Structure 1
Amino acid sequence: MNIPVLICDDSTLARKQVKKSLPSNWDVEVQFASNGREALNIMREQQIGVLFLDLTMPEIDGIGVLEANHAEKLVDFTIVVSADIQPEMQNRVAELGALAFIQKPVNTTKLTEILQQYGLL
């Protein structure tokens, strides 16, 4: 079963790194968004199975996306990928429904464990 995945980060390099970190045996169709506004537009127009979300972005940041997703129930599975690893931020994203918080750059083993934990892989 092909899972639609959205990777949202304002850095092209970071988006590519997240995609490269996805397990090779995971049947996904990957799309990209370069900011929160673009991500929300995609999420509102299409079914997205898993969202990988950066926090620091122009236009609408990751917290804004999480708040909108929390209110509108657009995506069930959100994994925050950020260099901002402060405990307060980790707690805030968890309150807004993020399943996990992964520090950049993404560790493939940790990501695989998270996907398996939630039955996504």
Structure 2
Amino acid sequence: MPLPIVIADDSLLPRRVLTRALPKDWDVEISYATNGREAIEHYRAGRASVMFLDLTMPDMTSYQVLDALQHEDLNTFVIVVSADVQPMAQERVRALGAIASCRSR
């Protein structure tokens, strides 16, 4: 059974880069979201055991997505990926439940 993954970023290039960065031997089913609201919809549809979130997106930011996940008691592994993850942002997303934050290049 494939691992359902959501890659949420409002830009196509980072979505492609993250997709290619996943190990080729992983059995995954990837869904894409261009904003946080779509990411939440994918989760509710059962397509997000793991979620990669861009820090800033239109409609809902990763902070708002993480807050919604916490308040609705939704359970997924979230990794925040952004070109500009400052220490304060890293602390904030981890406090909201992200398991990791990393800088994309």
* TM-score normalised over the length of structure 1: 0.81
After superposing on structure 2, the runs of 4+ consecutive aligned residues of structure 1 that deviate more than 2 Å are 73-76
The residue that corresponds to 2:28 in the other structure is: 28
Displacement of 1:47 in angstroms is: 4.4
Which of the two has greater helix per residue?
A: 1
Cα distance in 2 between the residues matched to 1:27 and 1:101? 23
Which of the two has greater strand per residue?
A: 2
> What runs of 5+ residues in structure 2 fail to find an aligned partner?
none
The residue that corresponds to 1:73 in the other structure is: 73
Whether the aligned pair in 1 keeps the contact of 2:31 and 2:42 (CA below 8 Å) is no
Structural mapping, 1:1-121, within 5 Å: 1-105=1-105
**Larger CA deviation: 7-16 vs 66-75:** 66-75
Whether the aligned pair in 1 keeps the contact of 2:6 and 2:47 (CA below 8 Å) is no
Please list the CA deviations of residues 58-86 of structure 1 after superposition, one character each: whole Å capped at 9, or x if unmatched.
11111110110111132320011112221
Whether the aligned pair in 2 keeps the contact of 1:43 and 1:75 (CA below 8 Å) is no
Count of residues in Structure 1 that have an aligned counterpart in Structure 2: 105
Cα distance in 2 between the residues matched to 1:74 and 1:35? 18
Identity over the aligned pairs, expressed in percent?
48
Cα distance in 2 between the residues matched to 1:73 and 1:25? 31
Cα distance in 1 between the residues matched to 2:73 and 2:3? 17
Displacement of 1:13 in angstroms is: 0.8
Aligned Cα RMSD in Å? 1.2
> What runs of 5+ residues in structure 1 fail to find an aligned partner?
106-121
Cα distance change of structure 1 residues 47 and 19 upon mapping to structure 2, 3 Å threshold: closer
